[in-house]
Amino acid sequence: MSANTKNMIFILTTVVTGLIAGLFYAYSCSVNPGLARLKDAEYLSAMQAINSAILNPVFFLTFMGTLILLPISTWLQYKAGGNSNAYFLLLVASLIYIIGVFGVTIIGNVPLNDLLAKADLKSMSIEELLTLRSKFEKPWLFYHQIRTISVVISFILTIIALFYRTKIE
């Protein structure tokens, strides 16, 4: 693999990590507060629509791309510079993303999204809607905050690794 290819992988890693960090951050400071203002049926319906809409190729490429590219960049940095600062920063960024973003999504957010997707909101009473929202909203927000903090930290560590990075030849 050429040095240019390796450098492009590292740049792409940084970009996709930043895109996911930006998405989760924007969601935390705009979408979630906006949704919180909705009535139960509106909130649940909006979340169903958002959860369905986000399952698209662009999201999957960035979300899964980060999951794949961070460890690859870490390995390439290890091979180029051994136990360098950049390697350790990328290793920590990878572990935080794998556990704090991907793991939390799979264990926390996805089951809640599945619960919500199965709900026939139009046939539910006001009390049932309230119950569903209470089962969904606070846990989902908790998991989302973990993901947001994790991916922002991963992104920051990846950027800092740029400054310490050993040139990959």
Per-residue pLDDT tens digits for 26-37: 999 999 999 999
Task: Quote the pLDDT of residue 163.
Answer: 84
CA-to-CA distance for 39 and 42, rounded, in angstroms? Answer: 5
CA-to-CA distance for 81 and 108, rounded, in angstroms? Answer: 36
Which is more confident, 41 or 84?
Answer: 41
Does residue 15 have a pLDDT over 90?
A: yes
- The mean of the pLDDT values for the chain is 95
Task: Quote the pLDDT of residue 164.
Answer: 83
Token pair recorded at residue 115: 């619960």
DSSP character at residue 123: G
Read off the pLDDT band of 166 (50, 70, 90). Answer: low
Question: Range with the lowest mean pLDDT among 2-16, 96-110, 115-129?
Answer: 2-16
Place of tokens 């969601």: 27
In sequence order, the 6+-apart residues with CB closer than 8 A to the CB of 162 are 10, 14, 86
Q: How far is CA 78 from CA 10, 30, 32, 41, 62, in A?
A: 13, 38, 39, 51, 23
Q: How crowded is residue 131: how many other Cβ atoms within 10 Å of its Cβ?
A: 13
Per-residue pLDDT tens digits for 144-157: 999 999 999 999 99
Read off the pLDDT band of 162 (50, 70, 90). Answer: confident
Which is more confident, 57 or 169?
Answer: 57
Instruction: For residues 36-44, give the mean pLDDT.
Output: 98
Task: Quote the pLDDT of residue 105.
Answer: 98
DSSP character at residue 122: G
Instruction: For residues 68-75, give the mean pLDDT.
Output: 97
Contact 144, 90 (CB under 8 A): no
Contact 91, 82 (CB under 8 A): no
Read off the pLDDT band of 83 (50, 70, 90). Answer: low
Express as a percent the part of the chain with pLDDT over 90. Answer: 88
Instruction: For residues 43-50, give the mean pLDDT.
Output: 98
Place of tokens 């990959």: 168
CA-to-CA distance for 86 and 157, rounded, in angstroms? Answer: 9
